[in-house]
Structure 1
Amino acid sequence: MTTDWATLIGFVGMACIIGAYAYMTAKSEPNPYVLHGTNLAGAAFLTVSLLVHTNWPSLVLEGFWAAIALWGLGKALRARSRSV
């Protein structure tokens, strides 16, 4: 079995999402920029992989994952601007 570049990028994306989940679970007050930024990066990497090796349900899932990460980053930015 050979591993191409798209699969390797997909594994990086998977590691980002798993890492973000582990970080959220380990920290009592996770940094939202780290959490959502890592999730967004993971979704982006997995999307690149899925555009090469198309799996429509997973591709749609990554779209929602990215949208939720962007929403979380937006909430963090609004909260930050209110506290300044």
Structure 2
Amino acid sequence: MNHWISPQLADVIGFAGTACILFAYAYITWAERPNAYVQHGTNLVGALLLTASLTVHFNAASLLLEAFWSAIAIWGLVKALRAQRN
């Protein structure tokens, strides 16, 4: 099957996405006053990278998880934008 990226590159992209999500979780845990843009933006980037890797290494359960992870991150970014405006 032809993919838009090689399986090896998909793994690298997936690991980068995992690193983003782990960083965001550690950041929210360790930071005294976490920045919502850093937290949710990093989570969104991680979810998108993992989704890209899933186009090569498909797993329906993981794809569903990344869809929800992205939606929650977008919701968090929208909340942060609204709070900044008020």
TM-score tier, shorter chain, comes to over 0.9
Q: Distance in 1 between matches of 2:29 and 2:55?
A: 30
4+ residue stretches of structure 1 with deviation over 6 A? none
Corresponding residue number in structure 1 for 2:34: 30
Q: What per-residue deviation string (whole Å, max 9, x for no partner) do you get for residues 42-81 of structure 1?
A: 0000000011110000000000000000000000000000
* Corresponding letter in the other structure for 1:6: A
* Corresponding letter in the other structure for 2:12: L
Corresponding residue number in structure 1 for 2:9: 5
SS in 1 for 2:32: coil
2:19 to 11, 15, 23: 15
Corresponding residue number in structure 2 for 1:59: 63
Q: What per-residue deviation string (whole Å, max 9, x for no partner) do you get for residues 4-40 of structure 1?
A: 0001000000000000000000012200000000000
TM-score by length of 2: 0.91
* Corresponding letter in the other structure for 2:69: W
Q: Give unpaired runs (5+ residues) of structure 2.
A: 1-6
Number of corresponding residues: 80
Q: Distance in 1 between matches of 2:70 and 2:58?
A: 17
TM-score by length of 1: 0.93
- The residue correspondences of 1:41-56 to structure 2 (distance < 5 A) are 41-56=45-60
Q: Distance in 2 between matches of 1:51 and 1:64?
A: 17
Q: What value does the CA root-mean-square deviation take over the aligned residues?
A: 0.8
